[in-house]
Structure 1
Amino acid sequence: MRVNPAADPATEVSPRLPEVVARRLSEDPTVTSDVAETVLWSLGSLGHRDAHGPAGEFDAAGVFLRAIRVRGFRGIGPETTLHVPPGPGLTLVVGRNGSGKSSFAEAAELALTGGNRRWDGRSAAWREGWRNLHEGESARIELDLLTEGDDPELTVVKEWAPDADLTQAVWTERGTGVTENDSAPFDVTRWSSVLDLYRPFLSYSELGALVDGKPSDLFDALHQLLGLDELTRAQERIRARRLELERAARDSRQERLDLLGALEQVADDRAVRMARLLRPLQPDLNAVSRHIFGTVDDTIGPDGLRAIVRLTLPTSAQVDEVAARIEECGADVALGSTTDAEADLRVLDLLRRAREHAGVVGDCACPVCGRGTLDSEWAEAADASIAQLTARVDALTRARDQLNRAVRAARGLPDHVPQELDFDPSNPPTVDTGAVRRAWADWAALTGAEYTPDLADRLRGAHTRLVDELELLQQGTRKELDRLDEVWAPLVPRLATWLDNAREVALRANELRTVKRAEDWLKSATAGLRGERMAPLETTARWIWRTLRQQSNVELGAIRLQGNAGTARRVLLDVTVDEVDGAALGVMSQGELHALGLSLFLPRATVEDSPFRFVMIDDPVQAMDPAKVDGLAMVLATVARHRQVVVFTHDERLAEAVRRMQLDACVLEVQRRERSVVEVRTSSDPVRRYLADARSLVRTPQLPRAIADELVATCCRSAVEAASQSRARRDLLATGMHHREVERHLEEAFTTRAMVALAVMGVGYNVDNLNKFLARDEKWLVSVLRDVTAGAHVPIGRSMRELISDTERFLAWLVR
């Protein structure tokens, strides 16, 4: 029976995402350059990866399963090997419950992935019973794989010592020509990424979980499979940056409010002013900086108070020295100031003025009395009188000069009231400087004082009062500084830190707006790309569901991914029940749920980019009704045209459906004997089926002989062709040839002889040389092949029973 080739599951290779995103950015007129740069930045570190490429390097491709060799694991005791035909094709592994068939499936999954989904979430008893009871000394799993490339043979081994736990296995891998002693440790990192993305294993317990498990799990798996995991990481990167910027702005706002609360509790003028600056939603950061770091006019803060502390006065000794000098000079002046001396001074002063007048105008009448002439004779007599009087009053004159100098020295001691003691009335000072300013004003008033006998005492008194008042003020100021240090100083680092962060937030405000717009654009673009890339998988899933559901009244429509990174994510299944929209999952039978799960698994596991060319499904038939089993056989046979499909089942219905529908499949039967001895034998394969059909035709007397002979020869020819294709596929894949190349060579071998030549001579065969090649080995091979190819058209010179027997001999030689 032929399968509709149009229904083959296939997906196209998606283009690389960075180029797609860059093109869409350039084509969107609403996108500004800063938004585009942000989106491309989010993809920057991811842009050199293929759209479907995993995060790590994985150089294996075209991986087929060749054999599973098991000892001492689960239901298998002595070592048993399950050989499966490598290359595309359907293999059914059948056997009753407890025969050990699922142990092969679990062993393969454990050897390649390191875990087993069937055991996940189960009790410890599931994991503790992993050793076989009859072969408990050692346990070993060996997985033979066939890959493309120069090193096609790959063997993965897990082996446990007798006392080792499940997680304590020695896990190794080895390639072509490598001995077991030279095996390398299994590279978990290399395999994990592709196994997560293209997981080829599906157990019975997973069938339901694919549909009714966590919604986000299936979403993430499909999203990654579609090659959109780069966009997911880009969204996460943009989202993380947005959250970082928003968190910084939010923290800055909260810290500002916390600082306002703290400042209101501080009885400090600086705190009052700082609170005034911080109160607006957008504070003046430059003003805040000036206030924190003291570049404002701070006359009442610590700088002003420290200036008060730094004020100094002349020492008492300095003041006493000046006062004593005034007193001494004053006494000398008082002693010399007699009546005669005062008269002499007045006369001396008069003579000096007259002499100066005469010197200017020459001989003239006396300007005082008008009598007499101020001539040279008078000038001579005046000079003699001046000299005499000067000598007589010299002591008093010197005393008065000394007193004037002493007074000038006293006037140099006081200073004007310093600015440090003056405060703005709108900002009340934290210390009272009134007494000091009054005392300093009295002290400063002495700068213009004339000599009086009490000047020295007034100088000493003003200084003493000022010293006392200033000392009291400075003591209070120091205490106030200490108090302010206790309440204000701890706030300064907080304010400085907040200021730095606030400036950074202000600088990043534009970036935050850009990041938000970029995030919105990327979410929208992701949704569009997701829909485009989901379409082929959706088409395949719907075809599988239609084929599987058979008589089910549940129709599967669109499959949509809803949500984005950082939000609720789920897969929306557009289903109808009897053409009415509804919650189909709630009314589906278990068999329908499993069919739906298979519809979602196979498109994921068989995408073109997967390095695994095999899928392994354990017990998919159990809950399906007979109609769905037929659909399942059709689906598996179609997938097997391009994939190696290995199905484990205890249900005979699937094998029966394959035989009844004449679908090509290899059926392996697993039997378990005493003490966990497991045997595997071939129950059916295309070659056996064709030979069995030939024997059946020979034993059918109702058929006319000519027709029976033609049909028997056709069956023998089909058996030879099937065996030739199997050997050619096996040998060519073993050379590392890409599976597409293998299939191309098989398709180009149009005739039976060409297929045999490809199998025994390789891709460089020449059909004309086939007989010579066969004759070199066994001459009878030539005649058997001739009769097999000709018997379907013309009578041959041998009986059909003999032809069947010779065909079996030919096949035994061919597949050796």
Structure 2
Amino acid sequence: MRTETDDATGSLARLLEDGPAADPEVVAVVRAALDDIEQPAPAAGAPRHDGIYLRGIAVRGFRGIGRESVLRLSPGPGLTLVVGRNGSGKSSFAEAAELALTGANRRWEGRSAAWREGWRNLHAPGETRIALDLLTAGSPAEILVRAAWPAEAELTAPEWTEQRGAADPAPFDVEAWSALLALHRPFLSYSELGSLIDGRPSDLFDALHRLLGLDELTAAQERIRARRLTLERAARASRALRTELAGALERTADTRAVELAALLRTPDPEIAAVEAALTGADDTADVAGLRGLVRLAVPAPVVVRAAVQRLERAGAEVARYATGNAEADLRTLELLRRARSHAGDADCVCPLCGAGQLDAAWRAATDIAIGELAARVAGLAEARAELRRAAAALRSLPQPVPDELVAPGRRPVDTAAVARAWTRWAALRFDDGADDDPALPERVRTAYTRLVDELEHVRRGTRTELERLDEVWAPLVPRLTAWITGARLVEADSAELRTVKRAEEWLKAAAGILRDERMAPLQETARWVWQTLRQQSNVELGAVRLQGSAGTARRVLLDVTVDEVDGAALGVMSQGELHALGLSLFLPRATAERSPFRFVLIDDPVQAMDPAKVDGLATVLAEVARSRQVVVFTHDERLAEAVRRMQLDARVLEVQRRERSVVEVRTVSDPVRRYLADARSLMHTRQLPPAIATELVATCCRSALEAAGLARARRSLLAGGMGHAEVERRVSAAQTTRAMVALAVMGVDGKVDDLNAHLAATEGGWAVDVLRDATAGAHVPIDRGMRALIADTERLVARLAADLDGSADRPPGRRAAANGGAARDRGGRAGGQQGRADAGERGANGAPRRRPSPPRAR
């Protein structure tokens, strides 16, 4: 069963060219919406998508399992039934796997707290832990996911790690795994079967929509829809504000309001005219000048105070250092520095007396004198430099008198006093007094204080005048300004709004076409599953359709009829039929080709099914197991009985629970065991002539070798990092028994012609002999008894089932000492594989096996 989908944007590009007609503006909007979708970068710890199989589940202290128990599985396609009575602990394995990988359990969702309180096993105090042993086709091939809860930890707070190959354990990458599990969840519990049908309609719709690979189209639709809603909201808000402002202006007793109200009441007001009227109203009333007076500002008091104090400190420092000798030394130092600079590095005549020589001796003596004088007057020199800087900083504070105070014209507020104060303040900028003038700080304080007082007086008067002028008008001005700004944007966006509406309609139609195309194969598979499961049911499943889109009511429409009559079939379907319908929707999703999970875990799907439907379920599961690892937990013996009766390839594991929650798992049946059991049964069937019995026994032995060989080949190739598709190609290419065994023991580079030499060197001549006899015995007489052939076949099968490093019996999550402690348990027992030879397709009585043939998705 496959559901192949191509890239959504590629399909949309095809529709843009060949689909419903779209003008260039619409095409541009759609392409822009797709281009703007941010493609998430793959998380660094994201698992490879080449196939993830489940190799084992180790559980301690969880639910019905006390001391650690391990459920070992064959990591490859095949059907495994985990059976056991109610309370045996089998469902604890299923729930543990789901909890360790997803962090939650669907069975408990929506239940009372009592469902979650008993998650710890009473017979295993201390740490609770779960380990999932996964095998992928990526590199590294092995992933170990662990969840551990110390004795006092809550269920929601595990110590969660994942370990890849030989690397050290790292924190479990919740984000990376959640993205995969949200789309391709491989777990299905009994409680979920019904909820798939009667849960929230939008949940199933969203899951199928994501599965169809239409997320990008949905995101593009949502972006276009969001843009349309934004533009429409802006237009509605602009119209509502214009109506509200017009009413408020009409109720205002102000000449300025009359003109603006008339402009706003027109059906399509000119924004420029409204803006001009609003600006002119302010100019006429001198509001702009008044507002300018309010905005006048001078340096903050703290800034002026700090500048004055700096000048005073600098003056004090100069006074401290300025002794008579220091002043004389400073003048002498300056004179010597100039003379030394004049002399340079060559001898010359003194420029002052014209007689003395400024030679090397003079220069040396002068350099020493300069150094000594500089050291004596360093404090005074630095103090004078700081004084100059402080004076310059203080004089930079006053600014020229602003235009609002000196420009000609009538002013509602008297500004003459503040203009004079500001003039005195500005004059300090060009004060020609000495930097160390002790009166300068006081002049600055006096001018600044006077200016601040006068400016505050003018501000108070200006505010009073503005309040008088704008008591009613002022609140309307910012609202009018806001409307003008918004109206301009709405006007500019009007053409875009029309285009966006057309683009939204076009993309909705195009997405519907793509959705129907991609839904067809999934619908076909769902109908096949239902048709196989519905044994003796009067309910017929027709089309499975998705109705709705982003931003609207979404649901999955199931066209079901009862006795060819349309109606509310879901209301009259039995619980077993509803569960069968739930499986019909779950399996196509869980086994989609793009899913990274090559396994599905189904817990108790048999409940409420009548015997006929159990036969159909067995057929469906066997068919799914041809390309997936299918693990089914059930206490109902009917499914295992149906598998045996219909001679479907399956491995059956039995879970038993002993005292104090000791849970044990044993293999009841698998294809290899069944073939060997058939061989032993044939050997003891007296009604068969010896020649025919020998031929059939050899056929069963050959099928057992093929099944064991294919199981090992899949396991070793996947563990080596080979992709799932390539593994299946290699397996399918092995058409003979010897080719299958060669692929298992020598890998892809081995040759069938070298198989005998390889077996003789690694196992011994007995292995060559048993392979030869089992292969030939189905066609010609062999010189070996049936009992010996069966015994040697069992021996070779056991060698094939063992892992390459002999670690098949280690539980998942344990590290071996081999390979520096980095080797991992790679195996389990052979099982879940299909024989490829003719005998492998037949039962012990030689009758052809039943092979269901579902429709293949396009």
TM bucket by the smaller chain?
0.7 to 0.9
Aligned-pair CA distance for 1:57 = 5.9
1:748–1:234 CA distance, 2 compared to 1 (3 A): same
Q: Cα deviation per residue 1:156-189 (whole Å; 9 max; x = unaligned)?
A: 11111110001111111111112xxx21101111
> 2:159: which partner in 1?
170
Aligned-pair CA distance for 1:706 = 1.8
5+ residue gaps, structure 2: 291-408, 411-461, 803-858
Residue 192, structure 1, aligned to residue 204, structure 2: no
> 1:63: which partner in 2?
52
What SS does the aligned partner of 2:643 have?
helix
**In the alignment, is the contact (CA less than 8 A) between 1:87 and 1:739 conserved in 2?**
no
Aligned-pair CA distance for 1:482 = 4.2
What SS does the aligned partner of 1:22 have?
helix
> 1:526: which partner in 2?
511
Aligned-pair CA distance for 1:241 = 0.7
Q: Cα deviation per residue 1:324-368 (whole Å; 9 max; x = unaligned)?
A: xxxxxxxxxxxxxxxxxxxxxxxxxxxxxxxxxxxxxxxxxxxxx
> 2:573: which partner in 1?
588
Residue 628, structure 1, aligned to residue 613, structure 2: yes
What SS does the aligned partner of 1:556 have?
strand
Aligned-pair CA distance for 1:23 = 2.9
* Cα distance in 1 between the residues matched to 2:69 and 2:28: 60
**In the alignment, is the contact (CA less than 8 A) between 1:54 and 1:194 conserved in 2?**
no
Match of 2:241 among 236, 255, 258: 255
Aligned-pair CA distance for 1:55 = 13
Q: How does 1:72-151 map to 2 (within 5 A)?
A: 72-151=61-140
> 2:789: which partner in 1?
803
Residue 646, structure 1, aligned to residue 637, structure 2: no
Aligned-pair CA distance for 1:54 = 11
What SS does the aligned partner of 1:294 have?
helix
Q: Cα deviation per residue 1:513-536 (whole Å; 9 max; x = unaligned)?
A: 111111111111111110000000
Aligned-pair CA distance for 1:806 = 2.0
* Cα distance in 2 between the residues matched to 1:765 and 1:480: 101
What SS does the aligned partner of 1:172 have?
strand
Q: Which amino acid aligns with 1:199?
A: R
What SS does the aligned partner of 1:489 have?
helix
Q: Cα deviation per residue 1:598-619 (whole Å; 9 max; x = unaligned)?
A: 0111111111111111111111
**In the alignment, is the contact (CA less than 8 A) between 1:17 and 1:47 conserved in 2?**
no
Aligned-pair CA distance for 1:651 = 0.8
Aligned-pair CA distance for 1:488 = 0.5
Residue 773, structure 1, aligned to residue 772, structure 2: no
* Cα distance in 1 between the residues matched to 2:12 and 2:755: 56
* Cα distance in 1 between the residues matched to 2:491 and 2:46: 43
> 1:726: which partner in 2?
711
Residue 290, structure 1, aligned to residue 276, structure 2: yes
> 1:391: which partner in 2?
none
**In the alignment, is the contact (CA less than 8 A) between 2:148 and 2:159 conserved in 1?**
yes
Match of 1:561 among 542, 546, 569: 546
* Cα distance in 1 between the residues matched to 2:675 and 2:801: 16
* Cα distance in 1 between the residues matched to 2:287 and 2:149: 79
Q: Which amino acid aligns with 1:46?
A: I
Aligned-pair CA distance for 1:768 = 2.1
What SS does the aligned partner of 2:143 have?
strand
* Cα distance in 1 between the residues matched to 2:262 and 2:560: 63
Residue 753, structure 1, aligned to residue 738, structure 2: yes
> 1:375: which partner in 2?
none
> 1:458: which partner in 2?
none
* Cα distance in 1 between the residues matched to 2:64 and 2:464: 88
* Cα distance in 1 between the residues matched to 2:510 and 2:288: 62
1:225–1:484 CA distance, 2 compared to 1 (3 A): same
* Cα distance in 2 between the residues matched to 1:280 and 1:562: 44
* Cα distance in 2 between the residues matched to 1:54 and 1:589: 44
1:717–1:93 CA distance, 2 compared to 1 (3 A): same
Q: Which amino acid aligns with 2:210?
A: Q
* Cα distance in 2 between the residues matched to 1:56 and 1:571: 34
Q: Which amino acid aligns with 2:799?
A: W
* Cα distance in 2 between the residues matched to 1:208 and 1:478: 73
1:664–1:305 CA distance, 2 compared to 1 (3 A): closer
Residue 619, structure 1, aligned to residue 604, structure 2: yes
* Cα distance in 1 between the residues matched to 2:257 and 2:46: 61
**In the alignment, is the contact (CA less than 8 A) between 1:302 and 1:481 conserved in 2?**
no
1:261–1:791 CA distance, 2 compared to 1 (3 A): same
> 1:276: which partner in 2?
262
Residue 763, structure 1, aligned to residue 755, structure 2: no
> 2:3: which partner in 1?
11
* Cα distance in 1 between the residues matched to 2:656 and 2:526: 35
**In the alignment, is the contact (CA less than 8 A) between 2:77 and 2:628 conserved in 1?**
yes
Match of 1:550 among 523, 532, 535: 535
* Cα distance in 2 between the residues matched to 1:305 and 1:122: 71
What SS does the aligned partner of 2:131 have?
strand
Task: Please provide the CA RMSD for this pair.
Answer: 2.3
> 1:354: which partner in 2?
none
* Cα distance in 1 between the residues matched to 2:585 and 2:43: 21
* Cα distance in 1 between the residues matched to 2:466 and 2:474: 10
What SS does the aligned partner of 2:36 have?
helix
1:153–1:627 CA distance, 2 compared to 1 (3 A): same
Aligned-pair CA distance for 1:16 = 1.9
Q: Larger Cα Rg: Structure 1 or Structure 2? A: 1
> 2:24: which partner in 1?
33
> 1:207: which partner in 2?
193
Aligned-pair CA distance for 1:479 = 9.1
Aligned-pair CA distance for 1:107 = 0.8
5+ residue gaps, structure 1: 1-8, 307-418, 421-476
* Cα distance in 1 between the residues matched to 2:464 and 2:51: 85
1:669–1:305 CA distance, 2 compared to 1 (3 A): closer
Q: Which amino acid aligns with 2:35?
A: G
Q: Which amino acid aligns with 2:53?
A: F
* Cα distance in 2 between the residues matched to 1:164 and 1:116: 17
Aligned-pair CA distance for 1:574 = 1.1
Q: Which amino acid aligns with 1:287?
A: A
1:184–1:480 CA distance, 2 compared to 1 (3 A): closer
Match of 1:245 among 218, 231, 237: 231
Aligned-pair CA distance for 1:810 = 1.9
Q: Which amino acid aligns with 1:96?
A: R
Residue 675, structure 1, aligned to residue 664, structure 2: no
> 1:498: which partner in 2?
483
Aligned-pair CA distance for 1:61 = 2.6
1:479–1:123 CA distance, 2 compared to 1 (3 A): closer
* Cα distance in 2 between the residues matched to 1:106 and 1:559: 30
